[in-house]
Structure 1
Amino acid sequence: MALKEMVVQGATCTCEFGTGTDTLKVLTQGKYYLNDHEAKNKLAATHKDVGTTFEKNTFGSCKKMNNNPCTSTVVQWSGFYEKVKYSPPEGYILLEDSKATCPVGGNNCISIMNSGQQAEPSKQNFKNADEELLSHILPVIDMKNFEKIDPYDFLKVE
């Protein structure tokens, strides 16, 4: 089984019957953050995030409603990871391939396009990184002396 990303607030979702996307909001908890160094933006999304849990609560026009405006509502989630449970809200973490059910669109019509996670490299990441691997990825940077060098040294004219 391939590794899957866990879903956080800010994930981009779409409905197979809608014409647009919307952004997931986590409303069920305010304690658990993923991939967020300062713990301010990336709340972990769980299968308990149901109801009107999107920023705009619409996926544009809905084909199931004769192209009238969609009013997205999540009834339930499927495909969540049952080995990680956050308490409260007693919710299992959503994964990038989790799907949601809408009362209009039906079973599993809402899918996640982007988990909302974003890389936030820190100095510690560079300290822990394999120097030889980084020398192949970034050949112009001397990783042994990376922190000692002024990044603007190459601009100085003598």
Structure 2
Amino acid sequence: MGLTGKLVCQGAECKCMHGNMPDKLIVETQSKRYINDPENSNKLMATNKEIGQPFEAKTFGQCKLQPTPSGYKPCQPNITEWTDFYDKVKLEDNGGYPLLEGSKATCAISGAPCVNITFHGQTGEPSESSFEEAEEDALCQVNPVVNPTEINKKNIYQGISAGEYDDNIYGYF
């Protein structure tokens, strides 16, 4: 396959095209491989082995494929397989391949790929080493107010004031 995209981790938001609400993916097939999680605490890498009901609430709301006289039956997803995963890396822990943000799951009810990943679950969180390892020019372009050489000093805000308050203007000048 050789697909590209962001890796998916625990907490990724998923949506079924036949349901009316999202649910969050949980990873239960491995417990060692974390991504974008320096403390290895909650961002386990999701793989194509997350089958059955690998979701927090275990529902996507009401299932449009299961009508009843009063509406629809509650969705109870039963994932049978994932497609469009990254097949270049195989985890030893569970023999699975990493899911990508473009991966899709097949539910036993629909018999076709109907569950999409709407948010991969990764979040950026800069650490002290992020500033130490970054190029000074790049830091200045991302945040021109921050002087990278001053980051490790105790009070980088010394000498900076918010200005004087003026009652005629709603704010500072």
Which TM-score band applies after superposition, normalised by the shorter structure? over 0.9
Counterpart check, 1:63 vs 2:64: yes
- Aligned partner of 2:165 in structure 1 is none
Question: Amino acid of the residue matched to residue 34 of structure 1?
Answer: I
1:148 aligns with one of 148, 153, 163: 153
- Aligned partner of 2:166 in structure 1 is none
- Check the 8 A contact 2:3/2:85 in 1, yes or no: no
Question: Amino acid of the residue matched to residue 5 of structure 2?
Answer: K
Pair 78,3 (structure 1): closer, same or farther in 2 beyond 3 Å: closer
What SS does the aligned partner of 1:96 have? Answer: coil
Counterpart check, 1:36 vs 2:37: yes
TM-score (norm: length of structure 2) = 0.85
- Aligned partner of 1:134 in structure 2 is 139
- Check the 8 A contact 1:57/1:73 in 2, yes or no: no
Aligned pairs for 1:88-103 (under 5 A) are 88-103=93-108
Q: Choose 1 or 2 for highest CA Rg.
A: 2
**Structure that is richer in helix per residue:** 1
What SS does the aligned partner of 1:106 have? Answer: coil
Q: Percent identity?
A: 42
* Two-structure CA RMSD over aligned residues (Å): 1.9
- Aligned-pair distance for 1:105? 2.2
- Check the 8 A contact 2:79/2:106 in 1, yes or no: yes
- Aligned partner of 2:168 in structure 1 is none
How many aligned residue pairs are there?
157
TM-score (norm: length of structure 1) = 0.92
Aligned pairs for 1:38-57 (under 5 A) are 38-57=39-58
Pair 143,3 (structure 1): closer, same or farther in 2 beyond 3 Å: farther
Question: Amino acid of the residue matched to residue 16 of structure 1?
Answer: M
Counterpart check, 1:124 vs 2:129: yes
- How far apart, in 2, do the equivalents of 1:54 and 1:117 lie? 17
- How far apart, in 1, do the equivalents of 2:17 and 2:65 lie? 10
Pair 83,2 (structure 1): closer, same or farther in 2 beyond 3 Å: closer
What SS does the aligned partner of 2:87 have? Answer: strand
- How far apart, in 1, do the equivalents of 2:136 and 2:114 lie? 45
Question: Amino acid of the residue matched to residue 39 of structure 2?
Answer: E
